[in-house]
Amino acid sequence: MLINLSPTPPDAVMLAARLFAEDPRPHKVNLGIGMYYDEEGRIPQLAAVREADHRLRSRNRPWPYLPAEGLVDLKNKAMPVVFGEDQADDLRRRTAWIQTVGGTGAVRIGAELARAIAPDAMASISDPSWPNHEAIFRAVGARVSSYRYYDVESCDIDVDGMLEDLGRLPRGTVVVLHGCCHNPTGFDPTPAQWNHIAQVLADHGLIPFIDLAYQGFGEGLEADAQSVRIIAQSCNLIFVSVSFSKSFSLYGERVGLLFVVTESEAQAALVGERARAVSRALYSSAPSNGALLIAEVLGDPQLKTTWIDELDAMRRRILLMRAELVDQLAGGNRGANFAPIKAQRGLFSYSGLTRTEIERLRVDHAIHAVGDGRICLAALNAGNLPSVAAAIRQVSSRH
């Protein structure tokens, strides 16, 4: 009966997770994950979220289904965080939205909507990108292409190549962009470069699809949303998928939002209606607990301030780990190659380690990373950093 079912290869990130889980060595280190760990190596429970949880429990409320579109309070409180106080007011009327199962759900529902709006459109994805971008767009039947983003030679972002490739795309192509903290490279365009990108998107009639999964982990909460805000001023159809998994340390609660900015209230209504129909056929409505927690935090000025401070502390700890790792690698014979780790932002770094070196880290040192060289800086702490640095120096000194 299973004759038609061929084996399904896991994507690179899932494969790294599986190899880590299967590794019996007690001192193993997981640099392959996409979660923030604190200095003690734990996934933090944010104080703002803990207080929100306490308040929700004391209200002793039932657990009804959320409405088809999700928790309106979450949307209302999140819009200014993403679009800025001024733009949010202006955009509210002409923006369709739906709460989703994590950021992944937002990308999937957005991809379904993009297919419905522009059935023949291709999706263009940065090379490299989060592997699920390609998987999701293929799953909805879209053709997928890539645009240049990273220059292997200079180990740097290639904005000129990106602009050139975007300029050659057919009108109506859906361009998937990482709003900040590009996964996996850690390199983001500057605001001036985002202005150029927005111009090319608008001039060529391209449809930006901004995936914002790490807001607050790059340069800060406001600075990280500049990409969205700049593009929202130039283009008249924009998808923005938001994940709250990392920024609230609420991974398993699966909270995400999809915004589709259109030109009018009538267009937004049409898109919103379709979004609800898509989610209805997938899982009916999104889960409520994490959404209630986040709405509670964002709706209380004091809790919101606490959350912003906690998010900033996570961001600064990662920067510290970047600087420390680069320092400890500097003496090795490939030390200079690792300097870009300091300039990259977000949870990840494209370390420049080769597949063979990543394999040696796993086999010889029980240090797990993604095969393409992506390492998660947020998994480092004062306790494990020296041994990770020593292992990297060792595997990279053979050349």
Ligand X SMILES: Cc1ncc(COP(=O)(O)O)c(C=O)c1O
Would residue 327 show up in a list of annotated catalytic residues for this protein? no
Residues 168-197 that bind ligand X (CB under 6 A): 178, 183
Tokens of 40: 């003690």
Q: Is 307 in the site for ligand X (CB under 6 A)?
A: no
Q: Does 102 bind ligand X (CB under 6 A)?
A: yes
346 sits near ligand X (criterion: CB under 6 A) = no
Minimum separation from the CB atom of position 252 to ligand X (A): 9
Annotated catalytic residue 211: yes
Catalytic site includes residue 130: yes
Q: Decide: 206 and 173 in contact? Cβ < 8 Å.
A: yes
Nearest in space to 231 (alpha carbons), one of 259, 205, 199: 199
Nearer to ligand X, 109 or 117 (CB): 109
- The residue at minimum Cβ distance from ligand X is 102
Per-residue tokens: 176: 């998937």
**Judged by CB, which is closer to ligand X: 32, or 340?**
32
Residue closer to ligand X (CB basis): 162 or 391: 162
By CB under 6 A, is residue 162 in contact with ligand X?
Answer: no
Q: Among 99, 243, 249, 285, which residue sits at the site for ligand X (rule: CB under 6 A)? A: 243
Q: Which stretch binds ligand X (CB under 6 A): 22-30, 42-50, 103-111, 274-282?
A: 103-111
Catalytic residue, candidates 188, 224, 246, 372:
246
Q: List for the chain the helix, strand, coil content (%; round to 5).
A: 50, 15, 35
The 3-state DSSP class for residue 330 equals coil
Q: Catalytic pick from 75, 77, 97, 130? A: 130
- Minimum Å distance from CB 129 to ligand X? 7
Closest CA to 377 of 103, 34, 129: 34
Closer Cβ to ligand X, 34 or 186, answer by number: 34
Single out the residue of 185, 227, 245, 306 in contact with ligand X (rule: CB under 6 A).
245
Cβ-based nearer residue to ligand X, 32 or 102: 102
List the alpha helices (DSSP H) in the chain.
12-22, 47-58, 72-83, 85-91, 102-117, 131-139, 159-167, 191-203, 226-232, 265-282, 289-299, 301-329, 340-343, 355-365, 385-396
How far from 118 is each of 138, 143, 200, 259, CA to CA, in Å? 15, 12, 19, 17
Task: Say if CB 121 and CB 173 are below 8 A apart.
Answer: yes
Q: Does 130 contact ligand X by CB under 6 A? A: yes
Using rule CB under 6 A, residue 213 touches ligand X: yes
Contact 318, 377 (CB under 8 A): yes
Q: Is there binding between residue 247 and ligand X (CB under 6 A)?
A: no
104, 126, 227, 279: which one contacts ligand X (CB under 6 A)?
Answer: 104
The answer to the question of residue 34 lying near ligand X (CB under 6 A) is yes
Binding segment toward ligand X, per CB under 6 A, in 67-75, 97-105, 153-161, 351-359: 97-105
With binding defined as CB under 6 A, does residue 253 bind ligand X?
no
Binding of ligand X at residue 351 (CB under 6 A)?
no
Identify which range of 86-94, 101-109, 164-172, 316-324 contacts ligand X by CB under 6 A: 101-109
Per the CB < 8 A criterion, the answer to whether 263 and 95 are in contact is no
Rounded Cα gap, residues 52 and 178, in angstroms: 29
Sequence-distant (6+) residues with CB within 8 A of 192 are none
Nearest alpha carbon to residue 329 among 252, 370, 389: 389
Q: Which region, left, alpha or beta, applies to residue 260 given φ > 0 means left and ψ of -120 to 50 means alpha?
A: beta
Query: Could you tell me the two tokens for 265?
Result: 């209230």
Minimum CB distance to ligand X, residue 15 (Å): 15
Q: Which residues are catalytic, by number?
A: 130, 211, 246
Name the residues that contact ligand X, by CB under 6 A.
34, 102-104, 107, 130, 178, 183, 211, 213, 243, 245, 256
